[in-house]
Structure 1
Amino acid sequence: MDVRYDCRYFKGTMPCIPHKDHGVECNSNCEYLDSIDQNILIIKLGAMGDVIRTTPIITRLKNEYPNGKIFWLTYFPEVLPESVDQPMGFRNEDLVWLRSLDFIMAINLDKEPEACALMNQLNIQNKYGFGLTKGMPAPLNENANHKFLTGISDSYSKSNTKHYLEEIFELCCWEYQDEEYLLPKYEPNEFNIELKNVDGKVIGLNTGCGGRWTSRKWPNNSWLTLINLLQKEGYTVLLLGGENEDEQNKKLSGESGAEYMGFFSFKQFISLVAKCNAVVSTVTMAMHVAIGLRKPLVLLNNIFNPNEFHFFAPSKIVGPDKNCDCYYLPECINGRSCIEEISAEKVLAEIKMILPL
Structure 2
Amino acid sequence: MIIHQNCRFFKGDVPCVYHKKEKVECGDCQYYDPIKEKVLIIKLGAAGDVIRTTPILRKLKAEYPAAHITWLTWSPELVPADWVDEIYPFDLKHILTLQSSSFDLLLNLDKDKEACALTNQISAKVKKGFLLNDFNRCVPANKDSEQKFFTGIFDSANKANTKSYPEEIFEMCGYRFNGEKYILDNFSGVYPDWNIPENKPLIGLNTGCGGRWTSRLWSEENWIGLARTLKSKGKGVLILGGPDEHEKNLRIAKKSGATYLGHFPLKQFINLVNQCNLVVTAVTMAMHIVIGLEKKLVLFNNIFNRHEFEMYGLGEILEPAIECDCYFSPKCPNNCMEHIYVETVIDACERLLKE
TM-score normalised by structure 2 residue count:
0.94
> Which residue is 1:71 aligned to?
70
Report the alpha carbon displacement of residue 356 of structure 1 after superposing the two structures with TM.
3.1
Per mean C-alpha deviation after superposition, the further-off stretch among 103-112 and 265-274 is 265-274
Equivalenced residues, count: 353
CA distance in 1, matches of 2:218, 2:3: 57
Q: Please tell me whether the aligned partners of residues 128 and 144 of structure 1 are also in contact (alpha carbons under 8 angstroms).
A: yes
Query: What is the deviation of 1:185?
Result: 5.7
Partner of 2:37: 38
Q: Are residues 1:186 and 2:161 paired?
A: no
Greater Cα shift, 252-261 or 142-151 = 252-261
Return 44-53 or 116-125, whichever deviates more: 116-125
Structure-2 change in CA distance of 1:340 and 1:188 (3 Å)? farther
Structure 1 partner of 2:213:
213
Identity of aligned residues (%): 46
> Does the C-alpha gap of structure 1 residues 234 and 148 become closer, same or farther in structure 2, counting only changes over 3 Å?
same
Please give the per-residue CA displacement for 1:39-82, whole angstroms capped at 9, x wherever unaligned. 11111111100111000001111111112111111111111101
Moved over 6 A (4+): none
Paired residues of 1:80 and 1:184 also in contact (CA < 8 A): no
Code of the residue aligned with 1:345 in structure 2: it is E
Q: Is the 8 A contact 1:187 1:268 kept in 2?
A: no
Q: Is the contact between residue 281 and residue 299 of structure 1 (CA under 8 Å) also seen in structure 2?
A: yes
Q: Give the conservation status (yes or no) of the 8 Å contact 1:81–1:185.
A: no
Deviates more, 1:260-269 or 1:303-312: 260-269
Q: Distance in 1 between matches of 2:312 and 2:151?
A: 24
Over the aligned positions, Cα root-mean-square deviation in angstroms equals: 1.9
- Residue in structure 2 matched with residue 173 of structure 1 by the alignment: 174
> Which amino acid in structure 2 is aligned with residue 160 of structure 1?
N
Deviation per CA, 1:172-229, whole angstroms, max 9, x where unpaired? 111011111011461257352522x433200011111112221111111110010011
Taking the TM superposition and a 5 Å limit, the aligned residue runs for 1:174-323 are: 174-184=175-185, 186-187=187-188, 190-195=191-196, 197-323=197-323
Consecutive unaligned residues of structure 2, counting only runs of 5 or more, are none
Aligned positions of 1:1-12 closer than 5 A: 2-12=2-12
The structure-2 alpha-carbon separation of the partners of 1:5 and 1:208, relative to structure 1 and needing over 3 Å to count, comes to: same
User: TM-score of the superposition, structure 1-length normalised?
Assistant: 0.93
| In 2, Cα distance between equivalents of 1:346 and 1:246 | 26
Call closer, same or farther: CA 1:38–1:321 in 2, change over 3 Å. Answer: same
Q: Which moved more, 1:238-247 or 1:51-60?
A: 238-247
- Alignment check: 8 A CA contact 2:225 2:256 kept: no
Query: Residue type matched to 1:157 in 2?
Result: N
**Is the contact made by 2:186 and 2:270 (CA closer than 8 Å) also made in structure 1?**
no
Greater Cα offset, 64-73 or 132-141? 132-141
Letter in 1 for 2:202: V
1:324 maps to: 324
Q: CA deviation at 1:26?
A: 4.6
Q: How far apart, in 2, do the equivalents of 1:287 and 1:207 lie?
A: 11
Q: Secondary structure at the match of 1:203?
A: strand
